[in-house]
Amino acid sequence: MKFFIDTANLDDIREAQEMGILDGVTTNPSLMAKEGISGKDRVMQHYKQICDIVGNDVSAEVISVKYDEMIREGEELAEIDDNIVVKIPMTADGVKAIKYFSEKGIRTNCTLIFSAGQALVAAKAGASFVSPFVGRLDDISTDGMELVEQIVTIFTNYGIETEVLAASVRHPMHIIQCAEIGADVMTAPLSVIKMLLHHPLTDSGLAKFLADHEKASLAVKK
């Protein structure tokens, strides 16, 4: 399963890259705003900086909602770097735009997916990725992971090549469940990915190893 990081924060992206676990980045307008990035030139520049760090897939979301504007904006985003994946919302105009980009060889990530039907339509239009939002479904007492499972089953049934990108991942168990189900990609904040590293037996085991080593060193010195 590919690990994407869901952020526009350059320090977090660098840290994940240095850990050697980073397969890509997803952003959205809220994450860009959180970093104080606004204005077309600044946004474009920021995406370029992210691409230069990652050297792999970077989802950049359009803020247009009308087909013609999505096309113009998406083409500009795609020109920033070969690794840009144009992120398009699941709307009728969005689906049409996905079809257009797929015919032009520009990769897309269909975002804000909350049902298997939406995922199927996006895939038929030629989306490279579909992003079911796990955490936001859980927030409204609906099992988000069940949706990921449903989409993986459907895509497997028909050999659909669109990758299932589990998004809105909120805790380490979401990541494990995505891997069990067979999601192609999961995207999460770095803080959530780092939670996977910890286990109390690792901490106590390491403390004991170091204490024993220290004891042995002192004995030699005496």
Q: Which residues bind ligand E4P (CB under 6 A)?
A: 6, 26, 28, 111, 131, 133, 135-136, 167-168, 187
* Cβ at position 52, least distance to ligand E4P in Å: 21
Which is catalytic among the residues 2, 34, 40, 87? Answer: 87
Of 141 and 217, the one with the shorter C-beta distance to ligand E4P is 141
Of 190 and 212, the one with the shorter C-beta distance to ligand E4P is 190
Of 42 and 171, the one with the shorter C-beta distance to ligand E4P is 171
User: Is 144:178 a contact under the CB 8 Å cutoff?
Assistant: no
* Cβ at position 51, least distance to ligand E4P in Å: 16
**Residue from 54, 42, 56 nearest 85 by CA:** 56
* Cβ at position 104, least distance to ligand E4P in Å: 22
Of 111 and 150, the one with the shorter C-beta distance to ligand E4P is 111
Is 87 considered catalytic here?
A: yes
Residues identified as active-site: 87
